[in-house]
Amino acid sequence: QKEVEQNSGPLSVPEGAIASLNCTYSDRGSQSFFWYRQYSGKSPELIMFIYSNGDKEDGRFTAQLNKASQYVSLLIRDSQPSDSATYLCAVNGQGGSEKLVFGKGTKLTVNP
Amino acid sequence: KAGVTQTPRYLIKTRGQQVTLSCSPISGHRSVSWYQQTPGQGLQFLFEYFSETQRNKGNFPGRFSGRQFSNSRSEMNVSTLELGDSALYLCASSAYGNYGYTFGSGTRLTVV
């Protein structure tokens, strides 16, 4: 079983819509969960992190964590063409290890 | 505040050669991680250093090695290069891993 799984997409949404990105992870000992955005030809950029069950909001972004279901999601409200990128879910290793394990990413396209 | 600096940005090497990549973390960051990114495998963890000690290592052959200096700068070395080593190598630094990593721009290595 892969450690961190994401739908590869592509996910296509119209401008102004809500984009929903999902991620599941296998290690129940994981404690920290991250969403990175990577534009084509660029390096990943941290946009959200979450540690506790529930929702965490930052501007148009909301991260949701459900440890019982081993599920993390990212919602992007009022999607903009500039949000078009690959979104990477990352989970830290067992026991709070500094090692970050990444999913392969979901490619999001926001159509004007 | 300067970001994570990786040098060189691009590198072309021949099979069998060796290569050294350099990473200067954000000032004050003591944790440095290295990742290999390829289209097929995504971001794969190579190793993580903290205060000159390797704390975590990924599933890469011994041809991949690294080190960290007392000023937190890090280098990674790949010996006996193979065609499959062609990838984007990313360095990331963190003051404390559970708050996420900041990535450098990467070194694009092409092995011919």
**Is the Cβ pair B43, A44 closer than 8 Å?**
yes
- Model confidence at A44, in pLDDT bands (50, 70, 90)? very high
Contacts of B33 in chain A (CB under 8 A): 98-100
What pLDDT does residue A99 have?
79
Asked if A72 and A23 count as a contact pair (C-beta separation under 8 A), the reply is yes
To which residue do tokens 């099979």 refer?
B15
* Distance separating alpha carbons of residues B55 and B50, to the nearest angstrom: 7
What pLDDT does residue A69 have?
95
- On the question of pLDDT at A93 being above 70, the answer is no
Closest CA to B89 of B31, B30, B52, B47: B47
- On the question of pLDDT at A95 being above 60, the answer is no
To which residue do tokens 């529930």 refer?
A54
- Model confidence at A100, in pLDDT bands (50, 70, 90)? confident
Q: Does the beta carbon of B59 lie under 8 angstroms from any beta carbon of chain A?
A: no
Which is more confident, A97 or B2? B2
Mean pLDDT value across residues A47-72: 95
Q: Which has the minimum average pLDDT: A25-29, B67-71, B73-77?
A: A25-29
Mean pLDDT value across residues B54-71: 94
What pLDDT does residue A25 have?
94
* Distance separating alpha carbons of residues A80 and A66, to the nearest angstrom: 27
Bridge partners of B33, per DSSP, are B48, B92
Mean pLDDT value across residues B79-86: 97
- Percentage of chain A beyond pLDDT 90 is 79
- Model confidence at A94, in pLDDT bands (50, 70, 90)? low
- Model confidence at A92, in pLDDT bands (50, 70, 90)? confident
Mean pLDDT value across residues A50-68: 95
Q: What is the mean pLDDT of chain B?
A: 93
Closest CA to B97 of A90, A61, A56, A86: A90
Q: Which of residues 93-112 of B touch A (CB under 8 A)?
A: 94, 97-106
